[in-house]
């Protein structure tokens, strides 16, 4: 037990943690309750299943914090990023993947590793001995969540995460819709035409908003509150904040020209992003929803290009549990009350596939070092990974702690930017240059 690392959860964080520790020569047991115990959102028993979007977001490692995080994970030999690169799809500057091929490849890599074994079981209580990483993600089982609350003496925080619907490509009206990435972004023609755009007139948009607001919604269970993460709001919640909110959010028409009517500016545009390598499935970008299924089909078919659409998957909503990490974890991501337990992934209060996997990468490396009798400091807070782990282990305000994507606001300011005016693009490049140098030094210190 003392020489083995046990990981609870085979999502993005758990998969990456297992890979990193095993690559460091540590024996790993990966505990995953699926498919024996199902969840609302998961469709398979594969590891690193993508249950919401199929996008890892921007891949720009020079002027985007998410792209920088991609770079750091690649530099660290990350399983998640390496697999994503091999199964990428055109997405106009973003990194999107064929979700089934991606998770199947992650599963195959883990199952073929000689130092990783598997336990198909649900862990219902926090272990009291041994080396463990809890990476159970946003859908932590009720029994384990209760154990966490009992051990920490504090209620886990919760918000709701919504899933966007997926459309069969052949049912999209392409005489109305057209292919184009916003501002024609991308280096190849395939990238520049990665999205399908569905235009709406003002009258169509207004009718859509009316139907959206009136649609029957999923009810919350007793005692649950709608503490949504702002980066993944259901479209009906956005519409409730103002009739123009969607038109300035996921339905914004800027940077797009209708190929069928180039002289006519759309009032609003719904974008679809390819969801598999065959190009037969497209997800509706930013259209997470808690509408009931019957309402979804009728409301979404009000989008002219989707009037005859068939849906491979409708949207849904599920509880997303996370701990108040700034009060509970040390800078090694260990539970202060039980240092044999590390937490990683979305349960720590980071948001997003990449951020979750990055925290798994750190937890796996830190646990491996500890088992070897060593100590691995976290990366500098000027790096993407370092800024995230710093945020969740003390940098955030505990009283108002909420899930957070990586962003340059988490980074210490650049010295040359203090008290002066520096262009945003130059400033972002300064952040990434500094981060890459420091992260490279962090990796070199481990070799």
Hey, where are the domains in the chain? 5-156+323-445, 163-319
| pLDDT recorded at residue 397 | 80
| pLDDT recorded at residue 231 | 67
Please compute the mean of the pLDDT values over residues 223-230 and round it to a whole number. Answer: 60
pLDDT digits (tens, 9 = 90+) for 104-154: 999 999 999 999 999 998 899 999 999 999 999 877 888 898 899 899 886
Task: Choose from 91-100, 216-225, 364-373 the range with maximum mean pLDDT.
Answer: 364-373
Residue 227 pLDDT class (50, 70, 90 cuts)? low
Query: Is 81 labelled as part of a ligand binding site?
Result: no
Report the mean per-residue pLDDT for the chain: 90
| pLDDT recorded at residue 315 | 87
The pLDDT of residue 226 is above 60: no
The pLDDT of residue 41 is above 70: no
Query: Is 10 labelled as part of a ligand binding site?
Result: yes
| pLDDT recorded at residue 420 | 47
User: Half-sphere exposure of residue 144, counting CA atoms within 13 Å on the CB side?
Assistant: 25
Contact 281, 166 (CB under 8 A): yes
pLDDT digits (tens, 9 = 90+) for 326-358: 999 999 999 999 999 999 999 998 989 999 999
| pLDDT recorded at residue 422 | 58
Residue with more model confidence, 202 or 46: 202
Query: Is 385 labelled as part of a ligand binding site?
Result: no
| pLDDT recorded at residue 42 | 58
pTM tops 0.95: no
| pLDDT recorded at residue 1 | 42
Measured CA to CA, the distance from residue 261 to residue 263 in angstroms comes to: 6
| pLDDT recorded at residue 233 | 82
Task: Give the lowest-confidence range in 171-175, 229-233, 256-260.
Answer: 229-233
Q: Which overall architecture, per CATH, does domain 163-319 show?
A: Beta Barrel (2.40)
Query: Is 430 labelled as part of a ligand binding site?
Result: no
Query: Is 9 labelled as part of a ligand binding site?
Result: yes
Please compute the mean of the pLDDT values over residues 279-286 and round it to a whole number. Answer: 90
The pLDDT of residue 187 is above 70: yes
CATH of domain 5-156+323-445: 3.50.50.60
pLDDT digits (tens, 9 = 90+) for 51-78: 878 999 999 999 999 999 999 999 999 9
The pLDDT of residue 39 is above 80: no
Closest CA to 8 of 99, 126, 91, 97: 126
The pLDDT of residue 228 is above 90: no
Residue 23 pLDDT class (50, 70, 90 cuts)? very high
Please compute the mean of the pLDDT values over residues 31-54 and round it to a whole number. Answer: 76
Residue 37 pLDDT class (50, 70, 90 cuts)? low
Query: Is 73 labelled as part of a ligand binding site?
Result: no
| pLDDT recorded at residue 372 | 95
| pLDDT recorded at residue 53 | 84
Task: Give the lowest-confidence range in 5-9, 157-161, 402-406.
Answer: 157-161
Q: What percent of the chain has pLDDT over 90?
A: 70
| pLDDT recorded at residue 14 | 97
Task: Give the lowest-confidence range in 64-78, 84-98, 270-284, 366-380.
Answer: 270-284
């Amino acid at each position: 037990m003392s020489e083995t690392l046990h990981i609870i959860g085979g999502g993005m964080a758990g998969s990456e943690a297992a890979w990193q520790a095993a690559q460091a020569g540590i024996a790993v047991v990966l505990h995953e309750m699926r498919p024996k115990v199902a969840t609302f959102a998961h469709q398979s028993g594969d590891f690193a299943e993508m249950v919401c979007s199929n996008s890892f977001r921007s891949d720009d490692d020079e002027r985007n914090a998410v792209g920088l995080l991609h770079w750091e994970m690649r530099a660290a030999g990350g399983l998640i990023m390496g697999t994503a690169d091999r199964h990428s799809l055109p997405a106009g500057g973003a990194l999107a993947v064929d979700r089934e091929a991606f998770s199947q490849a992650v599963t195959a890599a883990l199952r073929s590793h000689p130092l990783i074994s598997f336990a198909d079981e649900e862990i219902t209580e926090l272990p009291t001995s041994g080396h463990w990483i809890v990476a159970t993600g946003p859908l932590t089982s009720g029994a384990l969540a209760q154990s966490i609350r009992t051990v920490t003496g504090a209620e886990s925080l919760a918000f709701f995460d919504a899933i966007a619907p997926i459309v069969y490509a052949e049912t999209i009206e392409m005489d109305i819709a057209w292919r184009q990435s916003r501002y024609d972004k991308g280096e190849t023609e395939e990238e520049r035409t990665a999205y399908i755009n569905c235009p709406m007139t003002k009258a169509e948009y207004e009718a859509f908003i009316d139907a959206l607001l009136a649609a029957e919604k999923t009810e919350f269970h007793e005692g649950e509150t709608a503490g949504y993460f702002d980066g993944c709001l259901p479209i009906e919640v956005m519409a409730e904040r103002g009739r123009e909110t969607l038109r300035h959010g996921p339905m914004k028409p800027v940077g797009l020209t209708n190929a069928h009517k180039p002289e006519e500016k759309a009032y609003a545009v719904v974008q679809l992003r390819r969801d598999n390598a065959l190009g037969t499935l497209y997800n509706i970008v930013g259209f997470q929803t808690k509408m009931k299924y019957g309402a979804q089909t009728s409301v979404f078919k009000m989008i002219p290009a989707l009037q005859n659409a068939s849906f491979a998957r409708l949207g849904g909503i599920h509880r997303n549990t996370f701990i108040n990490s700034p009060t509970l974890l040390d800078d090694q991501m260990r539970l202060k009350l039980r240092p044999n337990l590390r937490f990683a992934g979305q349960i720590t209060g980071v948001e997003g596939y990449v951020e979750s996997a990055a925290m798994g990468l750190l937890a796996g490396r830190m646990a491996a070092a500890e088992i070897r009798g060593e100590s691995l400091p976290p990366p500098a807070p000027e790096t993407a990974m370092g800024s995230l782990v710093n945020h969740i282990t003390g940098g955030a305000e505990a009283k108002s702690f909420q899930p957070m994507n990586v962003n340059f606001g988490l980074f210490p300011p650049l010295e040359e930017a203090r008290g002066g005016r520096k262009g945003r693009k130059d400033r972002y490049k300064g952040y990434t240059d500094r981060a890459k140098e420091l992260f490279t030094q962090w990796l070199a210190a481990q070799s």
